[in-house]
Structure 1
Amino acid sequence: MSISNPVYKTVALVVAGGRGARAGDAHDTPKQYRALAAKPLLARTLEAFLNMERVDAVLPVIGGDHHEMFSAMGLSHPKLLEPVSGGTTRQLSCLAGLEALEPYAPDFVLIHDGARPIVEESVVGAVLDALETADGAIPATLVTDTIKRSLDGKTIGGTEDRTQLFAAQTPQGFRFSRILGAHRKAVTMTDGFTDDAAVAEWANLKIVLAQGSTRNIKVTLAEDFPRAERILAGDRTMETRIGTGYDVHAFAEGKEVILGNVAIPHDAALKGHSDADVVLHALSDALYGALAEGDIGHHFPPSDPQWKGADSRLFLAHAAERVRARGGRIVNLDCTVICEAPRINPHVMAMRERIAEIAGIAVSRVAVKATTSEQLGFTGRREGIAAQAMASIELPGDDT
């Protein structure tokens, strides 16, 4: 006895198989899995559709090597279908998703960019309403800027009539059988179409415009993350906060020191309850200071044996997460290491990369410098290492 598939009228197909290199991610994590206001961007996109009454199911299309990252998001919902692997281009990924939906044979499919996390129910409703009399419908907004044409990128060749120009968004809605057929034919010709409306136009389907939203932005560049976070926060005015941190640890017997989560060979180690990483300790305290949320000792008491020998990346990751949890973002981190030895400069880039990865920000927002104390004081006597740090963050202005 065979078990039939559920009957779905409308399915949202969320395409999220790319790498998002233009977002400038420091640790090579695809942008859709980076945190947006304390939650993975893709999780926000999927949850938006999962919570919509007119959407019966949601199918993610992800990269072939993204399944572990997808699972790590911990999403669970009766409407959420098992993700399918996409192709090497957006067009191929869409086709893979549509083929996976064929057994369900929905009436309508909404094809959406995974990098558009602020999709509103009113936009989806407008698209679905328009589908009652068309093969497809796309949300769009009027182009308000004056558009110039240039063949060489230097000289203006003309001015477009902006009254006839619209900025296309997603989700783009279609009658399922017709867009599946169009995609199957199009892929025999090219896989270079950049959106599904272009595939539908090529197939001579009737596509109409529906009302889009200026909030429905696509997170493409690094600066789009804070912009999206401001929208999610209700466009509240952001204020800048500054915090400072200082830490020092004495030398003990050993063969390496841990600084900025990087192991540096030395004739001694640093003594401490955790791994004694003065760089991450100072940076963590700087972030906690900017938040006015105490210090490392407050969040991770040294009296608690579970933190003995702990990797200090836990502290910095927690401090960075606290910033995101309050709707804020880290603007930059700056740390100065003070010691006579070991030499720090050969390891600065590795330290910056590790710090950026842990904090979830671009390497360009992290500075690490080193200096000596001219043989004065305990660092001058080579008794230990000190670090000073500063962090600047943005928080919603009405944050309490």
Structure 2
Amino acid sequence: MRTDVIVVAAGRGQRAGEGLPKQFRTIGGQTVLRQTLQRFAGHPGIRHILPVIHPDHAALCAESMRDVRGIKTPVTGGETRQASVRAGLEALAGDPPDLVLIHDAARPFVSDRLIAEAIAAARDHGAAIPALKLVDTIKALGADDSLSTGPDRDRLRSVQTPQAFRYALILHAHRAAPVDTLTDDAAVAEAAGHRVFAFAGDPANIKLTTQEDFVTAERRAAADLLDVRTATGFDVHAFGEGDHVVLGGVKIPFTQGLAGHSDADVVLHALTDALLGTVASADIGSHFPPSDPQWKGASSDRFLAHAAALVRQAGGLITHLDATVICEAPKIGPHRDAMRQAIAEIVEISPARVSVKATTSERLGFTGRGEGIAALAAATVRLPWLD
């Protein structure tokens, strides 16, 4: 039976802390939304995947969707989850599926088993949701904060997504539902008079809600990245005319400039090659040929950001970057922390994972004679294990 998925990603996600909405924050080097979409795209039982998003997040969504197969053009959601799901259901009406799964974008660990069982449950029952038995005792809280015996936990369940339905059933139920008063699609189906059945949920299918959830998810993602790779990079540029040099993304006043086709930032160039090496993606000259006039005078942060994006597209996590600047002058120490911060922002990691060091060549060689600057770099990443 034709099965489509609606991925609800229109929320603001403020409980997860400051910054981007939670579906666009990263774990394991990729956004939560991208990981969720990839889970469904990789399942043979899924036909189309439809993200429902906030209009302000179109660009963020486009980046998360890039190169993921089976994705339909996102639709704009509403002020509530109920309104967003209905918008998604209506968008599928032109080429309706037989079954539809409705899933929270903030559940990126949905398994193939759970997806397969959701499809089977929708086919067999018309309306079904994954549910987990409660393991903790439930108590009732009184007005004076005293606790008393609560409901029988053996009859209670916590529920997850994907919630699974015959498409026509849930579309008609949403069209008939009270406006924006119901918190999930099972409640919408129940309000329309349908019985909703349970199938076994998955304790690993957690919903990322708080900052603590993201810490746990990051640890889990890192544990799944078993292929640890380290690669190196090297670059050198001669001094030329100018009144400053750019090193590590930081403009440093100096009596000379550095000669090069781009801004000649030897630190970012070396780091770019190091990152490209971790994913076996040739070198900086292959991606940004010096013969191409569009890169003349270009800011090297574009090169490093591109290399970092290739690591993320491979499912990788950048765990550490290290750069050593080799020159007699200018002094690097006063600018070290600014360089670490700039590099961290470019590749979207913590400055604590970036090291910048400096040394001289003891007046030996071209750097010792003050003819130019060199940089060595190393990058360490974690990737999914590939045979």
TM-score (norm 1): 0.67
How far apart, in 1, do the equivalents of 2:284 and 2:6 lie? 46
How far apart, in 2, do the equivalents of 1:130 and 1:157 lie? 38
How far apart, in 2, do the equivalents of 1:120 and 1:224 lie? 15
Secondary structure in structure 1 of the residue aligned to 2:84: helix
Q: Which of 334, 349, 369 matches 1:362?
A: 349
1:259 has 2:247 as partner: yes
Summarize the alignment of residues 199-238 of structure 1 with structure 2, pairs less than 5 Å apart: 206-213=195-202, 216=205, 218=207, 221=214, 224=217, 227-228=220-221, 238=226
- Indicate the larger mover: 158-167 or 219-228: 158-167
1:59 has 2:50 as partner: yes
Letter in 2 for 1:83: P
1:226: how far off?
6.8
How far apart, in 2, do the equivalents of 1:83 and 1:240 lie? 35
1:341 has 2:330 as partner: yes
Aligned to 1:12: 5
How far apart, in 2, do the equivalents of 1:207 and 1:283 lie? 54
Aligned to 2:266: 278
1:113: how far off?
1.9
How far apart, in 2, do the equivalents of 1:389 and 1:51 lie? 36
Summarize the alignment of residues 26-45 of structure 1 with structure 2, pairs less than 5 Å apart: 31-32=23-24, 42=33, 45=36
Aligned to 1:176: 170
Q: Is the 8 A contact 1:141 1:213 kept in 2?
A: yes
For residues 134 and 272 of structure 1, do their structure 2 counterparts lie closer, same or farther at Cα, with a shift above 3 Å needed?
same
Aligned to 1:3: none
Q: Which of 251, 256, 262 matches 1:268?
A: 256
Letter in 2 for 1:305: S
For residues 256 and 180 of structure 1, do their structure 2 counterparts lie closer, same or farther at Cα, with a shift above 3 Å needed?
farther
Summarize the alignment of residues 175-194 of structure 1 with structure 2, pairs less than 5 Å apart: 175-177=169-171, 179-181=173-175, 184-187=177-180, 189=181, 193=183
How far apart, in 2, do the equivalents of 1:204 and 1:266 lie? 76
Secondary structure in structure 1 of the residue aligned to 2:264: coil
Q: Count the aligned residue pairs.
A: 371
Secondary structure in structure 2 of the residue aligned to 1:254: coil
Deviations 1:89-146 (A, max 9, x none): 54443343345456777665321123445545543343344346757321234556x5
Secondary structure in structure 1 of the residue aligned to 2:55: coil
For residues 18 and 260 of structure 1, do their structure 2 counterparts lie closer, same or farther at Cα, with a shift above 3 Å needed?
farther
How far apart, in 2, do the equivalents of 1:203 and 1:347 lie? 63
Aligned to 1:138: 129
Unaligned segments of structure 1, at least 5 residues: 1-7
Q: Is the 8 A contact 2:231 2:275 kept in 1?
A: yes
1:305 has 2:294 as partner: no
Aligned to 2:104: 113
Letter in 1 for 2:117: A
Unaligned segments of structure 2, at least 5 residues: none
Secondary structure in structure 2 of the residue aligned to 1:394: strand
How far apart, in 1, do the equivalents of 2:171 and 2:14 lie? 33
For residues 25 and 215 of structure 1, do their structure 2 counterparts lie closer, same or farther at Cα, with a shift above 3 Å needed?
same
Q: Which of 71, 74, 83 matches 2:74?
A: 83
Letter in 1 for 2:6: L
1:68: how far off?
3.7
Secondary structure in structure 1 of the residue aligned to 2:321: strand
Tell me the C-alpha RMSD between the 2 structures.
Answer: 5.0
How far apart, in 1, do the equivalents of 2:60 and 2:132 lie? 33
1:256: how far off?
3.4
Q: Is the 8 A contact 1:331 1:365 kept in 2?
A: no
Q: Is the 8 A contact 1:48 1:117 kept in 2?
A: yes
How far apart, in 2, do the equivalents of 1:294 and 1:64 lie? 35
How far apart, in 1, do the equivalents of 2:273 and 2:255 lie? 28
For residues 336 and 47 of structure 1, do their structure 2 counterparts lie closer, same or farther at Cα, with a shift above 3 Å needed?
closer
How far apart, in 2, do the equivalents of 1:329 and 1:87 lie? 34
For residues 56 and 395 of structure 1, do their structure 2 counterparts lie closer, same or farther at Cα, with a shift above 3 Å needed?
closer
How far apart, in 2, do the equivalents of 1:313 and 1:9 lie? 45
1:20: how far off?
5.7
For residues 367 and 205 of structure 1, do their structure 2 counterparts lie closer, same or farther at Cα, with a shift above 3 Å needed?
same
